[in-house]
Amino acid sequence: MPILTPDALDPVALLAEVAALGLGGTALFVGSVRRSAEDGPVAAIEYTAYDAMVDAEAGRILAESALRWPETRVALRHRVGRVEAGQASVVAVAASPHRAEAFAACRYVIEEVKKRLPVWKKEIYENGSAEWRANDGSRAAAATPAPRAP
């Protein structure tokens, strides 16, 4: 299953993907587009990605997780394209026999995604302006605002 999708994320579908009778503890992480006093009047985020490398790098992250927690099943999806404020942009789920491994694997995968997955976000503000935003908090002006979805 490709990691990237232009469609709305469905955490329940991902929970079903990892479910198994012997896996009694499941951790779910949902990351959403944030609008706050600190972030400013963000209307949406436009996500772009290096598609082929996303699948390759995510494969490495999931393989590392499987080596550390071999009894844990993990699923991951990330949005591309325009995601409105409040909507989910990334979902990671991990199902293990016990909760400690589920929490650890889910945390590991999302932290590595934030550091390594070649995905970029352009914040689109209510006034139509846009800025590239990195996970270290830095911003850079965008050359052209992304077009609004019809």
Could you list the residues that contact another protein (CB under 8 A)? 31, 47-50, 52-53, 56-57, 60, 78, 89-90, 110, 113-122, 132-136, 138, 140, 142-144
Nearer to another protein, 23 or 75 (CB): 75
Nearer to another protein, 73 or 78 (CB): 78
- φ/ψ (deg, to 5) at 138: -70, 155
- Shortest distance, position 53 Cβ to another protein, whole Å: 4
**Shortest Cβ 18–another protein spacing (Å):** 19
Instruction: Determine whether 8 is exposed, middle or buried from the number of CB atoms within 10 Å of its CB (0-12, 13-18, 19+).
Output: exposed
Q: Tell me the two tokens of residue 12.
A: 């329940």
- Which residue has tokens 């499941």? 26
Output the smallest distance, CB 97 to another protein, in A.
27
CA distance 49 to 28: 23
